[in-house]
Amino acid sequence: MKIVFILGKYQPGRCGISDYVRLLATELQRRGHHCRKISADPESGPSLSEISQSLPKADLVSLQFAPYAFSQSGTSGHDLTALAETLSRRKTHVLFHEIWIGSYPEASWKQKFRGWRQRSEILRFLGRARPCLTQTTNSAYLHRLNCQGIEAKYLYLFGNIPFERAKSSRRQNSNNELEAVHFGTLYDNFPYETLVCRLSQLGEGMDIKSRILVLGRQRERSGLSKLQGAAEAKGIEIEVTNELPDDEISRRLQLSGLGFSTTPYDVLGKSGATAAMLEHGLPVIAYDDGDTPDRFLSPPGPFKTRIALLNDPRFDDSIQAILRKPRPKFLNGVSHTAAEFLDSI
């Protein structure tokens, strides 16, 4: 099968969507399919309209959609309309990595207005392009798309950290220490004090010492400051590594006891960093911010029994039950998603 992926500016190593397409295309090619990547660049071109005029023949066109990937303003106007007209004559798949902004209770009026324009444009695009399949990566977007009458389906977004076997000499293999690791962005709006308190209580209950490891370069410095302050108040050691190569991140994930993510639970599925922790066998602590109704929430991928919600009244029992279970082997998320992708189309 010939597959054409359309995405924004192609920046592997700097852009999550670029990494996603690179890894997925490589896996699909390993399975015998021919893949081509076409990149739209809102700054220097080509535009979506130009791409639509020279779109090569393919069995499937897969549009990797994020509003700000195609336009600095988040709306693409004529360019997106032109692409929709071309895609209406092709077998098309759309994966929403991002949708419109402003669809949460605390959004500002500016965000809501901008989001209204983006939503209107997206709905017009889907109406014209008539994709054979529309997918997204998380509960929040799935719910919002379905509420607009879009029959969207879920597709697991994998992590981008390949497995690299760790040596057994690291400190976490000691029976008297529990290392809680964070990989990804430390978002500001997260209950760090509650997290650190629960980690302290967990360590005391297991009669071991708790420590915190922060992997990777941090964009949100205020989140890191809050975590450091909360850890210091509880006397919990915290290590911050800054940027590391992928093989070292894999080793450190394997040698930690559990992970925690500051991405809200309803959009947890869009976090490749959280996926990397789960794929490496870590139980993950997350937080439900209440923006999506409970009945529409679901965990990312095959990890329902590996996630404990910090604001669940049964948190202590949940996390201890997970920690008592044998740690699963590494899950090859790229292979998992490639199989789901092929089955769905």
Its pTM stands at: 0.94
Per-residue pLDDT band for 44 (boundaries 50, 70, 90) equals confident
Q: How large a percentage of the chain has pLDDT more than 90?
A: 88
Query: What are the domain boundaries of the chain?
Result: 2-131, 171-324
Per-residue pLDDT band for 173 (boundaries 50, 70, 90) equals very low
What is the pLDDT averaged over residues 203-232? 91
| Average confidence score pLDDT of the chain | 94
* Least confident range of 51-60, 64-73, 149-158, 219-228: 219-228
Looking at CATH, the fold of the domain delimited by 2-131 is given as Rossmann fold (3.40.50)
Per-residue pLDDT band for 174 (boundaries 50, 70, 90) equals low
- Report pLDDT for 205: 87
- Report pLDDT for 42: 86
What is the pLDDT averaged over residues 14-30? 96
Q: Which pLDDT tens digit goes with each residue over 88-135? A: 999 999 999 999 999 888 899 999 999 999 999 999 999 999 999 999
What is the pLDDT averaged over residues 243-263? 96
- Report pLDDT for 54: 94
* Least confident range of 62-66, 102-106, 247-251, 335-339: 102-106
Residue 240: pLDDT above 80?
yes
Looking at CATH, the fold of the domain delimited by 171-324 is given as Rossmann fold (3.40.50)
Q: Which pLDDT tens digit goes with each residue over 135-146? A: 999 999 999 999
d(C-alpha 6, C-alpha 1), whole Å = 16
- Report pLDDT for 284: 98
What is the pLDDT averaged over residues 279-291? 97
Residue 73: pLDDT above 50?
yes
Q: Which pLDDT tens digit goes with each residue over 202-214? A: 999 888 999 999 9
Enter the tokens of residue 6: 């359309």
Q: How large a percentage of the chain has pLDDT more than 70?
A: 97
How far are the Cα atoms of 236, 257, 273 from residue 230, in angstroms, in the given order? 9, 20, 23
- Report pLDDT for 169: 45
Residue 258: pLDDT above 70?
yes
